[in-house]
Chains A and B, each alone.
Chain A
Amino acid sequence: MTSSNSPAGTPPDPTLDPTRDPARDPGPDEAPDRPRNSARGLLIVGGSIVGLVLLTGIVSFFWTPFDTGYTDLANAKAGPGTAGHLLGTDRLGRDIASSLMAGARTTLYVGLVAVGIAALIGTPLGILAAMLPPRWSQFVMRCTDVMLAFPALLLALMFAAIWGGGITTAMVAIGIASIPSFIRVVRSGALVVMTSDYVQAARVAGRSRWGIAVSHVLRNVAGLVIVQASVSYAIAILAEAGLSYLGFGAGLTTPSWGLMLQESQSTLRSDPLITVWPAVAIALAVLGFNLLGDGLRDRFDPRRQR
């Protein structure tokens, strides 16, 4: 891709629309000339990890090795395999494998709320911004600039100050903070589609702008939304972990990987494994969503399809 024909106009280079949260968004990893099968590899690996998280979360609704939250006091801080605890227990005797499974459920919830909010609000606004006359479009972009100055963690802390911490408050904040990313990505994608020959032809043929927006743009932008959703999902997982660490995230008995990590802090020296499991779970899930996002981007990004 070249930087000169930036459809968005504002930023000099669309490769990195400044829009995404590069803090966490692993960013465009693809070389222009990257072979297609590498994208497929990413897709498979990322998809499998995400699928695993999804599956684990769903299974945990019906079955976990032990009841989630059950404290086996006689076997606290037990090593893997002790008394039927596959991965051992934490400092209160809770089965780590069960907590991890139930934690996957929470992770799904986190993603659904945060990403759902962002996508449902951000996508239409992004398309709208692309359809509006430049002056108004510019205005929308300035608004997203202001919103971008409120990162997820900051918004979550503000909400926590007003309503108290809690996983739902946190997710709503993360969702709202992710809206501008969706607006920007969708808008720039939509602009590309709008200038495509096909749409130009449709316009010449007299179809209304809004008709085009719904029928054509939305369909083409859907891929971008999915990519952005995947990336935002990874960010949401990390943000939830950070908030749980600060004590503004998941409630005490909500199974959450972030909270497990936070609680394992005191035993890090004596029983490091209690820390390792949730750490691996978080890293793996984030990795999975990021890889999936990378893979999907190669497939869907209209800016890359030429």
Chain B
Amino acid sequence: MVLALLRRLAVLLVSALVASVLIFLIMSVLPGSPAQVALGTGATPDAVRALEQQMGLDRPLPTQYVEWIGGVLHGDFGLSYTSRQPIGPQLFDRLSVTLWLVLGGMVVALLLAVPFGVIAALRNGRPTGLVISALSQIGVAIPAFLAGMLLIALVAMRWNWLPPNGYVVPATDPVGFLRHMILPWLALGLVQGAVLTRYVRSSVLDQLGQDYLRTARAKGMTATAALRRHGLRNASIPVLTVLGVQLVTLMIGAVVIERVFVIPGVGSMLSDAVSNRDLITVQGIVLVLVVFALLVGFVVDVLYTVIDPRLRVQAR
């Protein structure tokens, strides 16, 4: 098992390395070098060269890459092309905001998906199950920003229950923080919850069809009891995978939600950097998000072996 873990860790590291090279290449080699982007398409080649020199972009690519990644490993992401502030501190500051947002959204999604998914499975084919399935289908079809717009229009502006946008640091004002985060959490969570509901439902249905549950039920246990006793753990395994992927999606989806709710997270930092053509900042943020995604994949794989008894047996 330890060996498997180490192997998986090695895969993670190699993947991260490959991803960082990919990001670096995409951002520096594709037509439109940072200097060209900064100067526009009509700039003279001389001007581009001069600026490249100034930005240190005239050196060989491997040198640039090593310098960049070397800095990143020390938390130094370089200076923003536009604000000329160091990117690192800002990035980590904003990452914490986004993590709050995403974790809250995830919790909302789970709170919705687990009960509704299980109910929909147990009531499969009956009206309750159908209604939940239909609602989740509709939830999946709504863009998250639209959900955000509607929540703001109704809950914040019409009923004045919660603030429409902004962010408060939890350490200074926990209540204000919660009040500001509820709507973004809902906007993220409702839509993702709809997706997740469908996975929970199908996963539970899958378990209900398994022989051991049939046996348990034959022995007189109710479906619910049998499920609680044996099935949920097994049903949670496939859901875990989805959860991992969803976490990543939420992280990226935060770009849109942060714009809707004016939250200074890493997503709005990314879209601002894209607008400003601040390529070095984009490069840094993308790297962090991609590594986050790889890390989530790793954790999910590790959790499998913990949760799934079959895998544990195999590993032994």
A238, closest chain B residue (CB): B143
Smallest beta-carbon distance A147→chain B, Å: 9
Binds A, one of B42-50, B55-63, B251-259: B251-259
Interface residue A204 (Cβ < 8 Å from any Cβ of B): no
On chain A, the residues within 8 Å of B14 by CB distance are: 142
Interface residue B289 (Cβ < 8 Å from any Cβ of A): yes
**Cα of A146 to Cα of B298 in the assembled complex, Å:** 12
Interface residue B216 (Cβ < 8 Å from any Cβ of A): no
Contact at B206–A32, with CB atoms within 8 Å? Answer: yes
Interface residues of B in 251-280 (CB under 8 A from A): 252-253, 255-256, 259, 270-271, 273-275, 277-279
Interface residue A261 (Cβ < 8 Å from any Cβ of B): yes
Contact at B290–A149, with CB atoms within 8 Å? Answer: yes
Contact at B205–A158, with CB atoms within 8 Å? Answer: no
Smallest beta-carbon distance B218→chain A, Å: 17
A13 partner, pick from B15, B146, B237, B259, beta carbons under 8 A: B237
**Cα of A11 to Cα of B308 in the assembled complex, Å:** 12
Interface residue A23 (Cβ < 8 Å from any Cβ of B): yes
**Cα of A275 to Cα of B147 in the assembled complex, Å:** 12
Contact at A246–B124, with CB atoms within 8 Å? Answer: no
Contact at A268–B153, with CB atoms within 8 Å? Answer: yes
**Tally of chain A residues near chain B (CB < 8 A):** 62
**Cα of A15 to Cα of B198 in the assembled complex, Å:** 12
B246 partner, pick from A2, A22, A158, A268, beta carbons under 8 A: A22
Contact at B133–A29, with CB atoms within 8 Å? Answer: yes
**Cα of A169 to Cα of B158 in the assembled complex, Å:** 38
Interface residue B138 (Cβ < 8 Å from any Cβ of A): yes
For chain B, which range describes its interface: under 10, 10 to 19, 20 to 34, or 35 or more residues?
35 or more
Interface residue A24 (Cβ < 8 Å from any Cβ of B): yes
Interface residue B185 (Cβ < 8 Å from any Cβ of A): no
Contact at B30–A242, with CB atoms within 8 Å? Answer: no
Smallest beta-carbon distance A44→chain B, Å: 15
Encode A1-21 as 1/0 by CB contact (under 8 A) with B. 111100000011101101001
On chain B, the residues within 8 Å of A205 by CB distance are: none
Contact at B199–A269, with CB atoms within 8 Å? Answer: no
Interface residue A284 (Cβ < 8 Å from any Cβ of B): yes
**Cα of A137 to Cα of B157 in the assembled complex, Å:** 54
On chain B, the residues within 8 Å of A283 by CB distance are: 138, 141-142
On chain A, the residues within 8 Å of B198 by CB distance are: 26-29
Interface residue A163 (Cβ < 8 Å from any Cβ of B): yes
* A146-B294 contact in complex given A242-B145, A245-B256, C-beta closer than 8 Å: yes
A151 partner, pick from B209, B252, B291, B308, beta carbons under 8 A: B252
Contact at A153–B26, with CB atoms within 8 Å? Answer: no
Contact at A22–B19, with CB atoms within 8 Å? Answer: no
Interface residue A145 (Cβ < 8 Å from any Cβ of B): yes
Interface residue A74 (Cβ < 8 Å from any Cβ of B): no
A245, closest chain B residue (CB): B145
Contact at A157–B274, with CB atoms within 8 Å? Answer: yes
On chain B, the residues within 8 Å of A24 by CB distance are: 140, 195, 249
On chain A, the residues within 8 Å of B282 by CB distance are: 157-158, 161
Encode A213-253 as 1/0 by CB contact (under 8 A) with B. 00000000000000000000010001001100111100000
On chain A, the residues within 8 Å of B143 by CB distance are: 238, 241-242, 245, 258, 261, 282
* A149-B199 contact in complex given A26-B140, A247-B275, C-beta closer than 8 Å: no
Contact at B206–A3, with CB atoms within 8 Å? Answer: yes
* A16-B248 contact in complex given A245-B145, A287-B137, C-beta closer than 8 Å: no
Contact at A246–B255, with CB atoms within 8 Å? Answer: yes
Q: Which of A22, A268, A286 lies at the interface centre, i.e. has the most chain B CB atoms within 10 A of its CB?
A: A22
Interface residues of A in 134-158 (CB under 8 A from B): 142, 145-146, 148-151, 153-154, 157-158
Told that A148-B293, A158-B282 touch, could you supply 15 new A-B pairs with CB distance under 8 A? A16-B203, A18-B241, A18-B300, A22-B195, A26-B195, A29-B201, A146-B294, A149-B19, A149-B293, A154-B252, A161-B273, A163-B32, A246-B255, A268-B149, A287-B137
By Cβ-Cβ distance, the 6 closest A-B pairs, closest first, are A23-B249, A149-B293, A286-B141, A18-B241, A287-B141, A22-B242
Q: Which residue numbers of B lie inside 8 Å of A, CB to CB?
A: 11, 14-15, 18-19, 22-23, 26-27, 30-32, 37, 124, 133, 136-138, 140-146, 149, 153, 157, 192, 195-196, 198-199, 201-203, 205-206, 209-210, 237-239, 241-242, 244-246, 248-250, 252-253, 255-256, 259, 270-271, 273-275, 277-279, 282, 286, 289-291, 293-294, 297, 300, 304, 308, 310-311
19 A-B contact pairs sorted by A residue (CB < 8 Å): A12-B308, A12-B310, A16-B199, A22-B245, A23-B248, A30-B202, A145-B11, A146-B22, A150-B290, A151-B248, A151-B249, A161-B273, A241-B145, A242-B256, A246-B255, A261-B145, A272-B153, A290-B140, A291-B137
